[in-house]
Amino acid sequence: MSDAASASDTIARIEFTETGNSGPCKRFGWSHEEEEHTWTIGRCAELVVPLPPGERYLRLDVSLVPFVHPPRLAEQRLRIEINGRALRELALDGQDIVSVDIDVGQLADPDALCLVFNQPDAASPRSLGLSADGRVLGFGFQWLRVRRVQQLGASPFEPRTLASGGSVARAGAQGSEPGSVIVLGDLQAREVQEIAARIPSFERSFAFTWMAPAETGTSAQAAALREAANLSAVWCQLVPGRPEPSLLDLVPEGVPTVTFPRLTMPVLWPFDGPDRRLVPEPAYPDGRYVFGDTVAAGLADAAGTDDELFAEYLRRSAEQCPNVDAALEEYAEMLGEADRRCTIRVAELILDQFHEVKLFHNYEDPTGVLLRHIATRAIIQSGLYREFGLATVLRELSELTQGYQGLFQNQVPINPIVAQRYGLRWYDPAARYRYTYNKWTVRDYTLQYIRWRPWCF
Amino acid sequence: MAWNGGKSGLRSGVLIYSNCQGEELHRLATRIQSLQQRFEFKLILYHALGESEAHWRPYGEAFMRNVDIVWEQIGPDYVEERAEFHARRPAGARVITFPSFSMLSLWPLAGSDPRTRREPRYPDGRYLQPDFVAAELGVDPDILAGSDDAIFQRYMAISAERMPNLDRRLGLDVAKWRQRDSQSDIPVTDFLMDRFRRCQLFHGLDHLTGEPLGVILKGLCERTFAGLADLDRINQDIEAMLEFYVGADYLQTPVHPQVARHFGLEWYDPQATYRYYANEWTYRDYIVRLVRNAPYCQ
């Protein structure tokens, strides 16, 4: 393609260099800016480019270079999604400019381009024996441009598939009842609902209601669903191994229904298991340390100084730590199965990012990263943003969740041996973890647990 | 002393009458293992009491029946509620007093913000410790239209201009602490003056960290349980409980760097992040959000 587009046709130009302007557009899956480019890391990366109103035909140009090392990694495949629609797959073996023509009228949202770059062949220089760099690199982005064109080339999109059946949520008309959004699921779903409900654009337009699993399927909840005024969307958490809540059958036709998985990550806490000491006590109705640790439990009767006990704990952990590759493979299968059932996918994000970013506080409590992802996808898939524009809603969501920690109250430290074997780059052995009203290091927590000491909650 | 609760076959009641600082004392006290079988800790939050009889309903005769000891926090406000409490508490109960205290000199810009109002998702307002400089900037559309960097720079410039005489503010705090000490069985002023530079004692104006709460709790327990044979064990249990306890840190308010420099706060870390409900923000994040009155997740 020609790089000689006139400046007046250019709507946005994003430079991914150290002195560039890419920061506000990047969502997840990006490394730091380097002198000439920014690498995408993991298997997908997301970028949002706001569009001015009234645009019709656009051309997106992206200048990028794949991370390759022939012959072991001769090329990288790239699959771009624009506002939820997938483009045909490309394969790049060197620096290139990828161009895509877009009919804005065909997009679910004309206010912004939400670009997801999937890169299934991403690899780390370390895995190829090139350097100690453990980042899983996809493409080095140099610049991206969006410009107006008079006519379009052939459609770059694959046949349309929309999880929600293409329906679009309705906000309450001005002066009328707000639209209702019902969110079904456990505390994770409640958090997602809390995030969405606090987005300023939604405050007057949507009333969010959370229904806990114990309540779903009851006649009262069914009545609430049937009688919800101006039902705009239903977001439902699905639990692996359990059928979809029967309540979903009652969702009126045409109301967007979004499903997302219950998020767990047991592989990072492989020693979770029973402890004979875990019994209800007056001061600890659920037991003293509710997240079991079989290695620590095995040391319950051991004598020794703190240093000796912790050293023995680490020694036994190394001995008993499961094969991480096999565990990860099994976990990936579980995530894949969840993805197949749900309209919101999480497998790629979790598997790509867990080395780089903390995604869980304990095996069942996600950090803000994942909860924000679910909220973002749910908003996009159910079309709640339409009245306000995707760029506006995503900007508000981003500002709202700056520093958001997710379900952070019960942080269980990751065993140092486990962190090492999984290569968790964010892991800090000296970090302090919150457990309700306490903060302790992994060593403190482990010794407290072994000695079954009381604590304040 | 006689433990009336024990005579009636119940655990003896220790009633804490306090503001939110008492919530933390109650949280700690109920988990002291060596006391659990013998004592029941109860709580009345005086700032939550209203004028109507309905507010007192949970604290009727059944509630008061086994109360042998009252840990009463001394403070200048809620005078009518206190008088009502005095009329209702068991006549024979032994009263041990401790002070309520705050430290305004660490947050000398604390003031009111006209934007603070009840909202469905923020029933007490968005930011519970308003700052008059942030409030002033936050109603200026030109300021709000600027970048986060511009807002922060403006805040730092204006706040430096408006910074009150900090030594005078500390003097006012100390005078208030001493005055409360004079009415209390558990004095705190010497402890606060000795420690506030070396370790963080407050998360916000009146939200305490674990250390001052521990000092008060130990003082109350020593006076209350002085006759018990296992006082040493009780103290050990308290120490164990306090080892990793962080206090009431759900709404941490960052200290202005100029204040930290002036007082030579050894514990101050300019890069620290502060918890605000479910969020962790730096000082800069917090100030920009405060000026913008930005929504957040709880």
What ipTM does this complex have? 0.91
Q: Is residue B179 part of a domain?
A: no
Token pair 């298991």 is found at A273
Judgement on whether residues B203 and B122 belong to the same structural domain of the protein: no
Residue in chain A lying closest to B273 (CA): A403
Distance, CA of A85 to CA of B254 (rounded, Å): 44
* Least Cα separation, residue A437 to chain B (angstroms): 6
Interface of B with A in 204-243 (CB under 8 A): 237, 240-242
How far apart are the CA of B251 and the nearest CA of chain A, in angstroms?
Answer: 13
pLDDT grade for A154, boundaries at 50, 70 and 90? low
Q: Among residues 135-174 of chain B, which lie with CB inside 8 Å of chain A?
A: none
C-alpha distances in angstroms, B174 versus B106, B190, B219?
12, 9, 20
A194 chain-B contacts, CB cut-off 8 A: 297-298
Q: β-pairing, A76-82 with A85-86?
A: antiparallel
The two tokens of residue B206 are 């009146």
Asked whether the beta carbons of A341 and A237 are under 8 A apart, the reply is no
Considering CB atoms only, which of B285, B289, B297 is closest to A401?
B297
The C-alpha atoms of residue A253 and residue B237 are separated, in whole angstroms, by 61
CB contacts of A207 in chain B (<8 Å) are none
Q: CA-to-CA distance for A24 and A179, rounded, in angstroms?
A: 30
Tokens of A86: 């997938």
The answer to whether the beta carbons of residues B176 and B193 sit under 8 Å apart is no
Residue B24 shares a structural domain with residue B88: yes
B267 touches chain A (CB under 8 A): no
Instruction: Please report whether residue B298 resides in a domain.
Output: no
The stretch A416-439 carries a mean pLDDT of 96
- Write down the pLDDT at residue A167: 43
Instruction: Take residue A172 and report the two structure tokens written for it.
Output: 């309450």
Task: Give whole-number Cα distances, A64 to A36, A39, A40, A94, A153, in Å.
Answer: 10, 9, 10, 8, 21
Both B160 and B253 in one domain: the answer is yes
Q: What are φ and ψ of residue A206, in 5° steps?
A: -130, 140
Does A283 touch chain B if contact means CB atoms closer than 8 Å?
yes
CATH number of the domain that residue B31 is part of: 3.40.50.12080
B86-96 average pLDDT score:
95
The DSSP letter of residue B202 is B
Please give the Cα distance from B112 to B132 (Å, whole number).
6
Angle at B81 between CA B76 and CA B86, to 5 degrees: 95
Question: Beta partners for A238?
Answer: A261
Q: Is B277 on the interface with A (CB under 8 A)?
A: no
Distance CA A234, CA A231 (A): 8
Structure tokens at B80: 């009518």
**CB-based contact (8 Å) between A455 and chain B?**
yes
Q: Which residues pair with A182 in a beta bridge?
A: A209, A234
Domains observed in chain A: 7-148 (2.60.120.260), 179-264+328-398 (3.40.50.12080), 266-325+409-451 (no CATH)
What CA–CA distance (Å, rounded) separates A104 from A347?
Answer: 29
**Is there a domain that residue B182 lies in?**
no
Q: Please name the member of B245, B281, B295 whose beta carbon is closest to the beta carbon of A400.
A: B295
B97 in contact with chain A, both atoms CB, cutoff 8 A:
no
**C-alpha span between A457 and B9 (Å, rounded):** 28
Q: Is the Cβ pair A439, B240 closer than 8 Å?
A: no
- A187 to chain B, any CB pair closer than 8 A? The answer is no
Residue A190: its chain B contacts at CB < 8 A? none
Rounded Cα distance, B45 and B51, in Å: 14
Mean pLDDT, range A393-413, rounded to an integer? 96
Two tokens at A207? Answer: 């009333």
Full-model pTM: 0.81
Q: Please indicate, yes or no, whether residues B33 and B146 belong to a single structural domain of this protein.
A: no
From the list A195, A403, A440, the residue facing B280 with the nearest CB is A403
Nearest neighbour of A403 by CB, restricted to B247, B279, B295: B279
Mean pLDDT in residue range B264-278: 97
Structure tokens at A323: 């094969």
C-alpha span between A277 and A453 (Å, rounded): 11
Which helix (H) or strand (E) is A310 found in, with range?
Answer: helix A306-320
**Who among A368, A402, A454 is closest to B31 (CB)?**
A454
The answer to whether residue B176 sits within a structural domain is: no
CB pairs under 8 A between A and B: 79
Compute the mean pLDDT over every residue in chain B, rounded to the nearest whole number.
Answer: 94
Burial of residue A375 (CB within 10 Å: 0-12, 13-18, 19+) is buried
DSSP state at residue A246: G
User: Quick one: which of B238, B24, B245 has its CA closest to A432?
Assistant: B245
Mean pLDDT of the A434-453 span = 96
Q: Note whether residue B125 is domain-resident.
A: yes
Query: Could you list the residue range(s) of the whole structural domain that residue B36 is in?
Result: 4-102+190-242
Phi, psi of A68 (to 5 degrees): -130, 160
Count CB neighbours of A6 within 10 A: 8
Closest CA to A442 of A418, A415, A411, A419: A415
The single-letter DSSP state of residue A261 is E
- Asked if A104 and A65 count as a contact pair (C-beta separation under 8 A), the reply is no
Chain A: residue nearest B282 by CA?
A403
Model pLDDT, residue B170: 98
A282 CB neighbours in chain B (<8 A) are 36
Tell me the shortest Cα–Cα distance from A173 to chain B, in angstroms. Answer: 20
**Per-residue model confidence (pLDDT) at position B4:** 55
Question: Which has more confidence, A374 or A121?
Answer: A374
Chain B residues inside the 8 Å CB shell of A453: 240
Q: Are residues B61 and B77 in the same domain?
A: yes
Domain count, chain B: 2
Confidence of residue A165 (pLDDT cuts 50, 70, 90): very low
Q: Do B249 and A437 touch (CB under 8 A)?
A: yes
State residue B269's pLDDT score.
97
Question: Do B135 and B279 reside in the same domain of the chain?
Answer: yes
So what's the pLDDT on residue A171?
56
Q: Note whether B298 contacts A402, CB cutoff 8 Å.
A: no
Nearest CA in chain B to A441: B244
Q: Name B296's Cβ contacts closer than 8 Å, sequence gap at least 6.
A: A198, A400, A403, A404, B126, B276, B277, B279, B289
Measured CA angle at B156 (ends B151, B160), to 5 deg: 150
Chain A residues close to B238, C-beta within 8 Å: none
Which residues of A are less than 8 Å from B297 in CB distance?
191, 194-195, 198, 368, 400-401, 404
Nearest CA in chain A to B239: A455
Residue B267 located in a structural domain? yes
Compute the distance between CA of residue A361 and CA of residue B207 in angstroms, rounded to an integer: 26
Tokens describing residue B94: 């032994």
- Indicate the residue of A199, A438, A453 with minimum beta-carbon distance to B245: A438
A5 CB near a chain B CB, below 8 Å?
no
Residue-wise DSSP of A116-155: EEE-TT-B-TTTTTS-S----EEEEEEEEEEEE-SS--S-
| Residue ranges of A 311-370 with Cβ closer than 8 A to chain B | 368
Predicted confidence (pLDDT) per residue in A276-293, tens digit: 999 999 889 999 999 999
Query: Nearest residue of B to residue A284 by CA position?
Result: B31
A231-238 and A257-261 beta bridge pairing: parallel
Q: Which two tokens stand for residue A454?
A: 């009381």
Same domain, B158 and B215: no
What is the pLDDT at residue A1?
Answer: 39
Judge if B12 and B98 occupy the same domain.
yes
B145-191 pLDDT, tens digit per residue, is: 999 999 999 999 999 999 999 999 999 999 999 999 999 999 999 99
Residues B232 and B266 in one domain: no
Question: Do residue A195 and residue B297 have CB atoms under 8 angstroms apart?
Answer: yes
The mean per-residue pLDDT over the stretch A27-39 comes to 89
Between CA B67 and CA A179 the distance in angstroms is: 52
Question: Tokens 């565990």 label which residue?
Answer: A327
Radius of gyration of the CA atoms of chain B, in A: 21
In a domain, B202, yes or no: yes
Residue B297: which of A194, A282, A440 has the nearest Cβ? A194
Cα–Cα–Cα angle for B243, B244, B245, nearest 5°? 100
pLDDT tier at A105, thresholds 50, 70, 90: confident
Q: Quote the pLDDT of residue B220.
A: 97
Decide if B77 contacts B96 (C-beta within 8 A).
no
A285 touches chain B (CB under 8 A): no
CB of A310 less than 8 A from some CB of B: no
Same domain, B208 and B223: yes
Tell me if B124 is assigned to some domain: yes
Phi/psi of residue A173, nearest 5 degrees: -65, 155
The pLDDT tens digits of the residues spanning B117-150 come to 999 899 989 999 999 999 999 999 999 999 999 9
Q: Which of residues 360-419 of A touch B (CB under 8 A)?
A: 368, 399-406, 408
pLDDT at A152 over 90: no
Question: Which residue in chain B is spatially nearest to A283 when comparing CA positions?
Answer: B31
Please, is A279 exposed, middle or buried when counting C-beta atoms within 10 Å of its C-beta (0-12, 13-18, 19+)? exposed
More confident residue, A237 or A8: A237
| Judgement on whether residues B132 and B210 belong to the same structural domain of the protein | no
- How much is the pLDDT for A101? 87
Q: Is the link from the previous residue into A413 a cis peptide, with omega within 30 of 0?
A: no
Q: What is the pLDDT of residue B243?
A: 95
Q: Which two tokens stand for residue A70?
A: 């022939």
Q: Which one of B242, B269, B284 terminates a domain?
A: B242
Q: How far is A308 from chain B (nearest CA, A)?
A: 20
> Which chain B residues are Cβ-neighbours of A191 within 8 angstroms?
297
Q: Looking at the complex, does the CB of residue A452 fall below 8 Å from at least one CB of chain B?
A: no
Mean pLDDT estimate for chain A = 88
B190-201 mean pLDDT: 98
Per-residue confidence at A387, pLDDT binned at 50, 70, 90? Answer: confident
Tokens standing for B163?
A: 């910074």
Q: Give me the amino acid identity at B62.
A: A
In chain B, the N- to C-terminal Cα span, in Å, equals 46
R_g of chain A, CA atoms, integer Å: 24
Q: How far from A67 is each of A22, A23, A357, B168, B227, CA to CA, in Å?
A: 20, 21, 21, 62, 75
* Contact assessment for residue B199 and residue B267, using Cβ atoms and an 8 Å cutoff: yes
What is the distance in angstroms between the Cα of A281 and the nearest Cα belonging to chain B? 10
Q: Is A431 on the interface with B (CB under 8 A)?
A: no
A177-217: per-residue pLDDT in tens? 789 999 999 999 999 999 999 999 999 899 999 998 765 55
Burial class of residue A266 in the structure, from the number of CB atoms within 10 Å of its CB (0-12 exposed, 13-18 middle, 19+ buried) = middle
Q: Let me know whether B68 and B138 are in one domain.
A: no
Bridge partners, residue B122, by sequence: B119
